[in-house]
């Protein structure tokens, strides 16, 4: 009995460590930024579900229902990457979206035949929300952001190029002798 309790306690400590790790990865984010990444993770997870489980109809219904919110979220994430990475913002954004989908697809592969039944109900849950304002809290409650991804940048945006003032020289007056 003591061994079982020790294993349970060790498991809980390990889970607590993962929660601390995941929390540390997002400490650089404000609550609204964290919400935008949670919504992006939900959208990506639903895309992986639709692709992997052949449920394009549910994904399309999700996109149509939440289209304004998803577009606003996409603009906010684009701005986040532009602000963080300057000129490389779009490239970093594209890399992030691809890495997110790949991490979620990898997790789906590890679940194998369990993935579709286990995660398929998320479509019904998200479509049952009473209002579109419930989307960010719902997304946050799903814990879909992979622990393996760090969204806090280690580098800052490139400083804008300094422009040197253009100095116009007046041609020297010619003396007429």
Q: Is 159 contained in some domain?
A: no
Q: What is the mean pLDDT of the chain?
A: 77
Q: Is 43 contained in some domain?
A: yes
Residues across the chain: 177
Check whether 2 has a pLDDT greater than 70: no
Q: pLDDT tens digit string along 9-40?
A: 333 333 333 333 333 445 678 899 999 999 99
For the chain, the domain total comes to 1
**Residue 88: Cβ within 10 Å count:** 15
Percent of the chain clearing pLDDT 90 (strictly above): 49
Q: Is 154 contained in some domain?
A: no
Domain span at residue 57 reads 32-141
């Amino acid at each position: 009995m003591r061994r079982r309790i020790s294993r349970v306690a060790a498991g809980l400590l390990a889970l607590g460590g993962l929660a601390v790790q995941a929390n540390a990865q997002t400490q650089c984010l404000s609550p609204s930024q964290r919400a935008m990444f949670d919504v992006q993770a939900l959208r990506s997870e639903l895309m992986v579900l639709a692709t992997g489980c052949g449920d394009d109809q549910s994904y399309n219904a999700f996109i149509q229902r939440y289209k304004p919110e998803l577009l606003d979220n996409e603009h906010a994430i684009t701005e986040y990457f532009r602000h963080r990475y300057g000129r490389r913002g779009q490239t970093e954004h594209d890399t992030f979206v691809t890495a997110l989908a790949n991490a979620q697809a990898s997790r789906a592969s590890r679940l194998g035949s369990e993935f579709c039944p286990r995660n398929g109900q998320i479509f019904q849950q998200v479509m049952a929300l009473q209002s579109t304002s419930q989307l960010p809290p719902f997304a946050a409650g799903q814990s879909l952001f992979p622990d393996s991804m760090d969204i806090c940048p280690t580098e800052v945006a490139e400083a804008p190029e300094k422009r040197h003032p253009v100095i116009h020289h007046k041609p020297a007056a010619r003396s007429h002798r």
